[in-house]
């Protein structure tokens, strides 16, 4: 009788991966497969952070696109002792954990942690990674992107107290594999050194979660909002930057620190206009910006300006909806007023 495709139950799937983790432990590999219901408490965190970088990489069904990232991690020129890689596989399972398990076995000199949570969502996954991280700096990577060979070394060479170090940034077309135009690229490729006004002059680059390393203690003091459908990065940096007043340092392009972002068909710029996406989701993000705005010292002109830029950028999406559905103007304005924002440019919603 021929073999039939075996469909494992959720518990069988978890036991399967748990067995794999136990096998690797016996082989003295640096692999930790966490229970899917794992919870972390702040009082369990050690205040002692080790030198180096913690890379936090959420992955949802990454089996078909994670390989370029893994290959780029293998090629890093920085000492393997100076970074750890934390994968947070989340949501419905595919073969990603198998791929990462094999990757860990093939790279015993690399500090690799694999965590799984049944709860989907990039925010929750990043928050788990933040709690696991034990190095002095944290960098976020997306599982469908990749980094240049000298990425980590060049960033780490320029660390300093309370400094965010930013890399160069290049967009890659998913279908052709070719570099494509991006308004972020000229900003990142033509700068070197300290630019403390980056949050207002290069706002779009400063609020991308990737392409930078950040002091871990600051990151650990701010969670990603798991209740947002999108605008997660905007929400996070609206709350992180004003309370930390970082110094910002751009690594020169000659040092070869490049973050390659794969542009996919489902990106925000290609989202269809809808009341949910353009209005309700934007207002949730503005709620977080508003909380930060209420706390910021209003004499702090730099960060007041920064937050107003973020307010207006989200309002722009609402305006796009009204351009297509002007008959909903009163409905939208009524919805906005329910939130009692301290700052909001209603004139941007005028017809």
Residues 177 and 75 in one domain: yes
Query: For position 86, what pLDDT does the model report?
Result: 99
Residues 203 and 327 in one domain: no
Residues 146 and 176 in one domain: yes
Query: For position 190, what pLDDT does the model report?
Result: 64
CB 286 within 8 A of CB 280: no
Domain end marker among 244, 263, 282: 263
Task: Judge whether 120 lies within some domain.
Answer: yes
CA–CA distance, 307 with 199 (Å, rounded to integer)? 9
Q: What tens-digit pLDDT sequence spans the chain (351 residues)? A: 433 333 344 455 555 555 655 554 444 444 444 433 333 333 344 458 999 999 999 999 999 999 999 999 999 999 999 999 999 999 999 999 999 999 999 999 999 999 999 999 999 999 999 999 999 999 999 999 999 999 999 999 999 989 999 998 888 888 788 888 665 655 555 678 998 888 988 888 899 999 999 999 999 999 999 999 999 999 999 999 999 999 999 998 899 999 999 887 655 455 899 999 999 999 999 999 999 999 999 999 999 999 999 999 999 999 999 999 999 999 999 999 999 999 999 999 986
Q: Which of 94, 18, 21 is nearest to 63 (CA)?
A: 94
Query: For position 11, what pLDDT does the model report?
Result: 53
Residues 177 and 280 in one domain: no
Query: For position 324, what pLDDT does the model report?
Result: 97
CB 33 within 8 A of CB 17: yes
Domains of the chain: total: 2
CA–CA distance, 138 with 154 (Å, rounded to integer)? 15
CA–CA distance, 247 with 162 (Å, rounded to integer)? 6
Query: For position 242, what pLDDT does the model report?
Result: 97
Domain end marker among 263, 280, 298: 263
Task: Judge whether 251 lies within some domain.
Answer: yes
DSSP-based three-state secondary structure for 121: coil
Query: For position 204, what pLDDT does the model report?
Result: 84
Residues 205 and 281 in one domain: no
Residues 94 and 237 in one domain: yes
- Show the DSSP H helices in 145-201 as ranges: 151-156, 184-189, 198-201
Sequence-distant contacts of 7-15: CB under 8 A, at least 24 apart: 10/118, 13/93, 14/116
Residues 230 and 335 in one domain: no
Residues 245 and 285 in one domain: no
Task: Judge whether 5 lies within some domain.
Answer: no
Q: Which of 209, 171, 205 is nearest to 188 (CA)?
A: 205
First-to-last C-alpha distance (Å) of the chain: 70
Q: Using CA of residue 326, residue 329, residue 331, residue 337, what is the dihedral sign?
A: positive
Residues 208 and 283 in one domain: no
Task: Judge whether 135 lies within some domain.
Answer: yes
Task: Judge whether 8 lies within some domain.
Answer: no
Query: For position 186, what pLDDT does the model report?
Result: 56
Task: Judge whether 344 lies within some domain.
Answer: yes
Residues 218 and 101 in one domain: yes
Domain span at residue 307? 271-349
Residues 321 and 177 in one domain: no
Query: For position 215, what pLDDT does the model report?
Result: 98
Task: Judge whether 33 lies within some domain.
Answer: yes
* Residue 236, H or E segment: helix 232-240
Q: Which of 75, 62, 81 is nearest to 258 (CA)?
A: 75
Residues 39 and 185 in one domain: yes
Query: For position 203, what pLDDT does the model report?
Result: 87
CATH number at residue 215: 3.90.550.10
Task: Judge whether 3 lies within some domain.
Answer: no
CA–CA distance, 266 with 178 (Å, rounded to integer)? 18
Query: For position 10, what pLDDT does the model report?
Result: 47
CA–CA distance, 67 with 44 (Å, rounded to integer)? 33
Domain end marker among 239, 263, 287: 263
DSSP-based three-state secondary structure for 36: coil
Q: In what order do the strands lie in the sheet with 247-250?
A: 111-117, 83-90, 50-59, 135-140, 212-215, 163-166, 247-250, 193-194
Residue the block writes with tokens 């089996």: 63
């Amino acid at each position: 009788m021929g073999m039939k495709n075996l469909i494992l139950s959720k518990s069988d799937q978890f036991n399967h991966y748990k067995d794999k983790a136990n096998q690797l432990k016996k082989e003295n590999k640096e692999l930790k497969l966490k229970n899917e219901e794992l919870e972390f408490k702040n009082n369990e965190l050690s205040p002692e952070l080790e030198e180096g970088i913690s890379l936090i990489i959420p992955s949802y069904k990454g089996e078909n696109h994670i390989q370029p990232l893994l290959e780029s991690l293998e090629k890093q020129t920085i000492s393997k002792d100076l970074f750890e890689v934390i994968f947070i596989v989340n949501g419905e399972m595919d073969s990603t954990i198998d791929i990462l398990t094999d990757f860990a076995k093939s790279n015993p000199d690399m500090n690799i942690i694999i965590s799984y949570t049944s709860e989907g969502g990039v925010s929750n996954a990043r928050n788990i990674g933040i709690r696991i991280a034990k190095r002095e700096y944290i960098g976020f990577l997306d599982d469908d992107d990749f980094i240049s060979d000298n990425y980590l070394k060049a960033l780490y060479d320029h660390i300093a107290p309370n400094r965010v170090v930013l890399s160069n940034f290049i967009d890659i077309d998913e279908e052709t594999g070719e570099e494509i135009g991006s308004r972020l690229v000229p900003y990142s490729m033509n700068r070197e050194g300290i630019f403390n006004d980056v949050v207002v002059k290069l706002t779009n680059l400063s609020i991308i979660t990737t392409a930078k390393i950040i002091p871990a203690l600051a990151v650990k003091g701010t969670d990603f909002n798991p209740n947002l459908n999108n605008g997660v990065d905007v929400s996070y940096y609206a709350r992180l930057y004003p309370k930390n007043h970082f110094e910002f340092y751009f690594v020169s392009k000659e040092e070869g620190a490049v973050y390659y972002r794969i542009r996919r068909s489902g990106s925000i710029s290609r989202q269809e206009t809808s009341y949910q996406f353009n209005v309700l989701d934007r207002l949730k993000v503005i709620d977080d910006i508003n909380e930060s705005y209420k706390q910021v010292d209003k004499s702090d002109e730099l960060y007041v300006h920064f937050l107003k830029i973020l307010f207006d950028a989200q309002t722009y999406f609402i305006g796009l909806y009204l351009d297509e559905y002007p008959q909903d103007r009163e409905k939208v304005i009524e919805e906005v007023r329910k939130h009692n924002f301290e700052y909001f440019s209603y004139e941007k919603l005028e017809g």
